[in-house]
Amino acid sequence: MFASVPEEQLRMLTVVVTRKSVSRSTTIMAGGDATDSLYIVLSGRLKVMMSDSEGKEVILAILGPGEFFGEMGLIDDSPRSASVVAMESCELLSVTKRDFKKCLAENFEMSMAVMRGLVRRLREADRKIGSLALLDVYGRVARLLLDMSETVNGEKVVTKRLPKQDIAKMIGASREMVSRVMKDLQMGGYIEVRGSTIVLRDTIMLPE
């Protein structure tokens, strides 16, 4: 997030951050809450989610080390728009609203780092909307796997697998449909499952 921020400006940030450890299933923030802090992920994974009055959930994003959340409400002073829940034990850094705004006002590069993060998320949201509107369930699963993958020894692999229920909540499908699609992709040679790792074959590639 802050790779391009000068060292002296980063030192200013370290003075105002608080380290926080959270356990699996902990809700760090809930939709509708008052906005008070920005969080930076040091380790672990968290899901950003929304739910309706009947308990139906949709997962908007999965966050990992180096990513941040809670910044939108600090910028426009609105309540939290979504909930963030730890998927495993996590280490976080938190910055209060007052210190966050002070850092942005005094540090151009830090402001740009936050803006780049916001723009990246807008692009991701645009692509997700496009996927939901234009791709079938097979395409949406393939797109999600590609987005989650990293290149290891020349292969695209997904090392942090998600429960099928979470995948379903991310792509707007049922758990049963996701299970069927994953099985079909495996049988068709589009993916290979090696223990806890999924290897993506070139045939699964989608047009940008």
Residues 21 and 95 in one domain: yes
Residues 102 and 186 in one domain: no
Residue 110 is predicted with a pLDDT of 81
Q: Please say which residue of 132, 151, 173 terminates a domain.
A: 132
Phi, psi of 176, deg, nearest 5: -65, -40
What is the mean predicted confidence (pLDDT) over 36-50? 94
Residue 53 is predicted with a pLDDT of 80
What is the mean predicted confidence (pLDDT) over 155-164? 90
Model confidence at 195: pLDDT above 90: no
Model confidence at 14: pLDDT above 80: no
Q: Please say which residue of 116, 132, 148 terminates a domain.
A: 132
Domain range for 143 is 135-200
Max Cα distance, the chain (Å): 56
Residue 3 is predicted with a pLDDT of 56
Residues 48 and 71 in one domain: yes
- For position 73, which CATH number holds? 2.60.120.10
CB atoms within 10 A of CB 66: 12
Give the pTM: 0.79
